Amino acid sequence: MSSTFVPMAETFAVETWWVQIIKGVIIALIGFTLIPAAVTVERKLLGRFQHRYGPNRAGPYGTLQAGADILKLLGKENFRPAASQGFLFYLAPILAVVAAVATFAIVPLGEVVTIFGQPVGLYGIDVGIGPLYVFALGSIAFYGLVLGGFASGSKYSYLGAMRAAAQLISYEVAMGLSLVGVIMITGDLSLVTMVEYQQEHLWFVLLQPVGFLIFVIAAMAETNRAPFDLVEADSEIVAGYMTEYGGGGFASFYAAEYLNMIIAGAIATTVFLGGWAIPFWPDAPAALGPFVVIFKTFLFVFFFVWIRATLPRLRYDQLMSFGWKILLPLATLNALITAVVVVAI
């Protein structure tokens, strides 16, 4: 299936390292601007789902409420419990934010365009090992959660950290296997190449529907979204790993969680929904690429919010059983069947 596919990226001029760094920084800044947008969308949608008004005071239709909340949090005093371990306590939210920003920096937002006579790809740093890069940084973000719970000196925080360790590791295995089929079909680990393959063939949501379903479910667990929010279950362990955080520390964890939700939608868009491609419009202007990717990404944000408003939180034993006994075997079977089909065709 992939023997006749030649990645278009190989025909483009090699960009200099400083161009790639500038693009990565710009895309990371775009990710930061999408955080208050995602918060506003969630609050508005939850209000509609629950038959009430969402934010409607700060700014037009309440659109400035998220920005006001961020400024309020950053202006608060950073309190550190006496029993906490100072360096690790402050390091934890930094790790969470840095890992999230570095992950979003490789999301491809469009194809190659010409800027000042030089071809420039509308994507950050095309590391060539996109999924591995994403999972590596996801593991670093996991340390932020565990350190935050361990260093807080609180039993509730420690319980949240232990839940994070068990939950994120179990669902990350299934998430990784859900992408194996896509990698085998394209024969490449580059996220840009995956989008280019879908431009010439079918989208992977049609070629790998089981992998797509597993990825979306595992992404909700990886980002601690309901009904998989056992890591910060307010009715059980107050706020889990970030119980003792306030001000800037809480804002950092909060921003990282929403940015990770956006990243999950962006990766799903890139790998399964054709990235910047528009159905039935193969010759769409390249300038539309970033807007198409952001639109598709926010479809996943809408879906995550819909699920949060619909399903109750799982019990911890249900969470682990679903990950190890259902998602993992199903993802393994999907990878095996895909390998047989790729070899046979």
Q: What is the mean pLDDT of residues 248-264?
A: 88
| Residue 3 lies inside a defined structural domain of this protein | no
| Residue 64 lies inside a defined structural domain of this protein | yes
Q: Would you put residue 225 in left (φ > 0), alpha (ψ -120 to 50) or beta? A: beta
118 strand-pairing partners: 115
- Greatest alpha-carbon pair distance for the chain in Å reads 63
| Residue 38 lies inside a defined structural domain of this protein | yes
Measured between alpha carbons, how far is 150 from 88 in angstroms, rounded to an integer? 9
In the Cβ-directed half-sphere of 48, how many Cα atoms lie within 13 Å?
A: 8
Specify the pLDDT at position 270.
94
| Residue 106 lies inside a defined structural domain of this protein | yes
pLDDT tens digits for 70-127? 888 888 877 888 778 878 888 888 888 889 888 888 888 888 777 776 677 777 667 7
Average of per-residue pLDDT values in the chain:
85
| Residue 337 lies inside a defined structural domain of this protein | yes
pLDDT tens digits for 9-31? 443 445 677 777 777 778 778 88
The answer, yes or no, to whether residue 4 has pLDDT greater than 70, is no
pLDDT tens digits for 41-80? 999 999 999 888 888 888 888 888 888 888 888 888 778 8
Measured between alpha carbons, how far is 197 from 4 in angstroms, rounded to an integer? 11
Does residue 336 or residue 222 have the better pLDDT? 336
Residue 275 sits in which domain range? 8-344
288 strand-pairing partners: none
| Residue 162 lies inside a defined structural domain of this protein | yes
| Residue 1 lies inside a defined structural domain of this protein | no
Q: Is 121:111 a contact under the CB 8 Å cutoff?
A: yes
Q: How many domains does the chain have?
A: 1
In residues, how long is the chain?
345
According to the 3-state scheme, what is the secondary structure of 108-141? Answer: EEEEEEEECCEEEEEECCCCCCHHHHHHHHHHHH
Q: What is the mean pLDDT of residues 320-336?
A: 94
The answer, yes or no, to whether residue 280 has pLDDT greater than 90, is no
Measured between alpha carbons, how far is 177 from 208 in angstroms, rounded to an integer? 12
Residue 129 phi/psi, 5-degree rounding, is -130, 50
Quick one: 230 exposed, middle or buried, by C-beta within 10 A (0-12, 13-18, 19+)? buried
| Residue whose C-alpha is closest to residue 224's, from 294, 331, 152, 148 | 148
Specify the pLDDT at position 2.
42
Amino acid in the structure at residue 156: Y
The answer, yes or no, to whether residue 1 has pLDDT greater than 60, is no
Does residue 12 or residue 145 have the better pLDDT? 145
| Residue 68 lies inside a defined structural domain of this protein | yes
